[in-house]
Amino acid sequence: MKTKTIFIIIFTALFTIFLMSNRDSVEFSFIFFKQDISKLLVVGIFTFIGFILGYWAGRPRTVISTYDNKFDDAVSTDRKNTLSDEDKDYIS
């Protein structure tokens, strides 16, 4: 097994043990009301939201650049695709 796979298995097992040890119900005070909710549910929901926000913040962005289009237009197509006679002799 790879190290990454072992790390993921260990992390998942520890996280599951953590969630299962916090199953008791606790009174949470929201903005306008109080509610008895399981700590398991609250920790699980906020962990899921944290993973989603972490992925969203850390994903690679697609950058659209107009520089590439301007550069391609500036260089003529016949100049890009042809070789000089010296280059052809060197390659062959």
Average pLDDT of the segment spanning 56-61: 80
Per-residue pLDDT, 13: 92
Beta-carbon count within 10 A of 40 CB? 16
Contact assessment for residue 37 and residue 28, using Cβ atoms and an 8 Å cutoff: yes
Residue 27 pairs in a beta bridge with 36
Q: How far apart are CA 27 and CA 18, in angstroms?
A: 19
Q: How many Å separate Cα 78 from the centre of its chain? A: 41
pLDDT tens digit sequence for 7-58: 889 988 998 888 788 778 888 887 888 888 888 888 888 889 999 998 888 8
Q: How far apart are CA 18 and CA 11, in angstroms?
A: 10
- pTM for this entry: 0.47
Per-residue pLDDT, 49: 94
Instruction: Write out the two tokens for 63.
Output: 């950058």
Per-residue pLDDT, 10: 94
Per-residue pLDDT, 39: 83
